[in-house]
Amino acid sequence: MPVAHCVSSMTGIILDFDEGFCQLVRRRPDQLVGLSYKAITAPDDLFKSSEMLVSLINKASPTHIRKGYVRPDGSVIKADLLVSKFGNEGRLIATLSWTEGPQESSPSKLWKAALRVKHIYDARIIELGKDLFSDHVGLILLHMYLAEAEGRVVTASQVAKLISLPAQSMDRWVKALTQRGLLEVIDDASGYIQLSQDGILRLERLFAATLAPEALAVGES
């Protein structure tokens, strides 16, 4: 999976980048310096990007976002970004990762796979009852992934309500999953949480397995 880095101003003006970023957006260096993120961001993701910039103004903690970049040929490549604010001048540094080839359309497929898994969870709870079926970790991560894929920001209390989990139990799981590097608390005061980049990648491998279960048998043969 390719990786790139980019430095921009707090208003989203590109200041510096590496060769990987040029590869991602398929533009020459002289076409990128001084360019606004709006010029290369997929229209559907412009609002999401603007929200991220606003959220970073008042906090220094890293923020994860998935967005599409428009290449010169009109195609859109999806990338995962981990963005942090640093320095007195308020610069933003982003680490980006993406997948080339036919898998570029996979976010939609993985979202549908996540919905399929949620449907199975719901069916098991209905058929077996909550007292016989409970997978709090799986449900927390599943709802966090769906929120991420749908561009929603959620709090720990909102997720707890969705899965009927007491607040104290939710707090314990958030701490445990954060220690494992799967979740990130993006705002202690409001309780907003999100999946870490590693958490997203791990879940997507699981969802990809539901799309191609035969791939699991390869390692068993």
Residue 170 has pLDDT above 90, yes or no: yes
User: What is the C-alpha separation between 154 and 157, in angstroms, rounded?
Assistant: 8
Tell how far CA 155 is from the center of its chain.
Answer: 15
> Over the stretch 199-210, which tens digit does the pLDDT of each residue have?
888 888 888 777
User: What is the C-alpha separation between 200 and 204, in angstroms, rounded?
Assistant: 6
Query: Domains plus CATH for the chain?
Result: 3-98 (3.30.450.20), 105-220 (1.10.10.10)
User: What is the C-alpha separation between 157 and 163, in angstroms, rounded?
Assistant: 10
Token couple for 198: 């590693």
Which one-letter amino acid corresponds to residue 199? G
Q: Which of 52, 50, 94, 98 is nearest to 75 (CA)?
A: 98
Token couple for 54: 């606003």
> Over the stretch 123-162, which tens digit does the pLDDT of each residue have?
777 777 777 777 889 999 999 998 888 778 889 999 999 8
Predicted local confidence at residue 61, as pLDDT: 61
Residue 214 has pLDDT above 60, yes or no: no
Mean pLDDT of 179-196: 88
Predicted local confidence at residue 219, as pLDDT: 43
Predicted local confidence at residue 208, as pLDDT: 79
> Over the stretch 77-132, which tens digit does the pLDDT of each residue have?
999 888 888 766 678 889 898 887 654 446 677 777 888 888 888 877 777 777 77
Mean pLDDT of 205-216: 67
> Over the stretch 16-72, which tens digit does the pLDDT of each residue have?
999 999 999 999 999 999 999 999 999 989 998 888 888 777 665 678 888 999 999
DSSP 36: B
Predicted local confidence at residue 125, as pLDDT: 76
H-only helix segments in the chain:
19-25, 46-57, 106-128, 136-149, 156-162, 167-179, 197-211, 214-220
